[in-house]
């Protein structure tokens, strides 16, 4: 079983994993990033058992069809693979999806609070994140994946109560940046809340205009290139590891 692999894209996807690790999304071996297969066969998902910061290249991804059947790759599967298949089914515009447990966004997910555009990062998101609270447990069935996709709606990200976040993009770069921005936006608001002073954000009605001015395609490409330059060497890890979480 050796179907063709989109090597350049999987190399970029591996870099996306390491960018997430470096930008506050590290949580031991948890968290994953995926890419819609350019040939329509399914989704390339990071294998389980290694941390986001340990993902080196194409060999660290497993190709699944939309029902979760493994088509290629020798690694073990993250139990939460239905996040990826369900969102890809629901959102034809999405090419890449991430799921992680960054500390500020995960704490924010537990609050009865809406994310305000306290700083630029929330404006970069293009609108408020969805809010998923059907369970605080693993998204390990197609039905839960569909419920999460519904909570995401047309947004770029979704807060998963007492669990973490999911984030999407029309490219690997866009998806990873949305994950980075959401964590930073939640951190900004938590800091504002912790100050004990009244605070506010950019009004919702002004958000689209602000975003159009502060994040165009060229700047997004600059941000992505910056994060890729910032990556250090990646450690050697075993090709197979015993965990499945
Ligand atoms: Zn999770």
* CB-based contacts of 204, cutoff 8 Å, min separation 6: 128
* CB-based contacts of 211, cutoff 8 Å, min separation 6: 123, 124, 126
- Show the DSSP H helices in the chain as ranges: 7-20, 81-90, 103-109, 120-124, 142-152, 172-194, 204-214, 217-229
Whole-prediction pTM: 0.93
Domain holding 28, by residue range, is 12-229
Whether 128 maps to a domain, the answer reads yes
- The pLDDT, as a whole number, for residue 24 is 94
Q: φ and ψ at 178, to 5 degrees?
A: -65, -40
> Parallel, antiparallel, or unpaired: how do β-strands 32-36 and 96-100 relate?
antiparallel
Q: Give the CATH number, domain containing residue 139.
A: 3.40.225.10
User: Residues 141-149: contacts with CB within 8 Å, 24+ apart?
Assistant: 141/82, 142/67, 142/68, 142/82, 142/85, 142/86, 144/82, 145/82, 145/83, 145/84, 145/85, 145/86, 145/87, 146/86, 146/90, 148/83, 148/86, 148/87, 149/86, 149/87, 149/89, 149/90, 149/91
Whether 7 maps to a domain, the answer reads no
Distance 209 CA to ligand 1 centre (A): 33
- The pLDDT, as a whole number, for residue 241 is 54
Whether 5 maps to a domain, the answer reads no
Distance 153 CA to ligand 1 centre (A): 19
Whether the per-residue pLDDT at 83 is higher than 90: the answer is: yes
Whether 78 maps to a domain, the answer reads yes
The whole-number average pLDDT for the span 147-174 is: 98
Helices and strands of the chain, counted as H and E runs: 8, 8
Distance 192 CA to ligand 1 centre (A): 27
> What is the Cα–Cα distance from 57 to 225, expressed in whole angstroms?
18
The whole-number average pLDDT for the span 138-161 is: 97
User: Percent of the chain beyond pLDDT 90?
Assistant: 88
Whether the per-residue pLDDT at 238 is higher than 70: the answer is: no
Distance 66 CA to ligand 1 centre (A): 19
Whether 237 maps to a domain, the answer reads no
Whether 2 maps to a domain, the answer reads no
- The pLDDT, as a whole number, for residue 233 is 72
Whether 34 maps to a domain, the answer reads yes
Q: Which residue has the tokens 């100050």?
A: 195
Whether the per-residue pLDDT at 43 is higher than 90: the answer is: yes
Whether the per-residue pLDDT at 1 is higher than 60: the answer is: no
Whether 143 maps to a domain, the answer reads yes
94-136 per-position pLDDT tens digit: 999 999 999 999 999 999 999 999 999 999 999 999 999 999 9
With CA atoms as reference, report the closest residue to 57 among 88, 35, 81, 31.
35
How many independent structural domains does the chain possess?
1
Distance 85 CA to ligand 1 centre (A): 15
User: Percent of the chain beyond pLDDT 70?
Assistant: 94
203-235 per-position pLDDT tens digit: 989 999 999 999 999 999 999 999 999 887 776
The whole-number average pLDDT for the span 44-49 is: 95
Distance 98 CA to ligand 1 centre (A): 10
What protein residues have CB closer than 5 angstroms to ion ligand 1?
164
Distance 162 CA to ligand 1 centre (A): 10
């Amino acid at each position: 079983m050796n179907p063709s692999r989109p090597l350049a894209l999987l190399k970029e996807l591996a870099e996306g994993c390491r960018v997430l690790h470096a930008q506050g999304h590290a949580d031991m071996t948890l968290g994953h990033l995926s890419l819609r297969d350019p040939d329509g066969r399914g989704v390339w998902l990071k294998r389980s058992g290694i941390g986001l910061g340990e993902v080196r290249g194409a060999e660290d991804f497993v190709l699944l069809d939309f029902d979760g059947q493994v088509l290629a790759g020798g690694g073990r599967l993250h139990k939460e693979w239905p996040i990826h298949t369900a969102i890809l089914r629901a959102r034809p515009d999405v090419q890449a999806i991430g799921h992680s447990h960054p500390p500020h966004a995960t704490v924010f997910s537990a609050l009865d609070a809406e994310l305000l555009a306290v700083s630029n990062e929330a404006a970069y998101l293009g609108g408020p994140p969805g809010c998923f609270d059907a369970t605080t447990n693993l998204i390990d069935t197609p039905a839960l994946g569909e419920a999460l996709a519904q909570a995401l709606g047309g947004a770029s990200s979704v807060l998963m109560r007492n669990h973490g976040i999911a984030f999407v993009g029309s490219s690997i770069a866009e998806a990873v940046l949305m994950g980075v921005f959401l964590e930073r936006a939640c951190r900004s608001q938590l800091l504002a809340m912790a100050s004990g002073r009244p605070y506010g954000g950019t009004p919702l009605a002004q958000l689209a205009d602000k975003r159009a001015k502060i994040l165009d395609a060229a700047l997004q490409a600059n941000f992505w290139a910056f994060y890729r330059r910032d990556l250090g060497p990646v450690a050697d890890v075993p090709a197979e590891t015993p965990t499945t979480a």
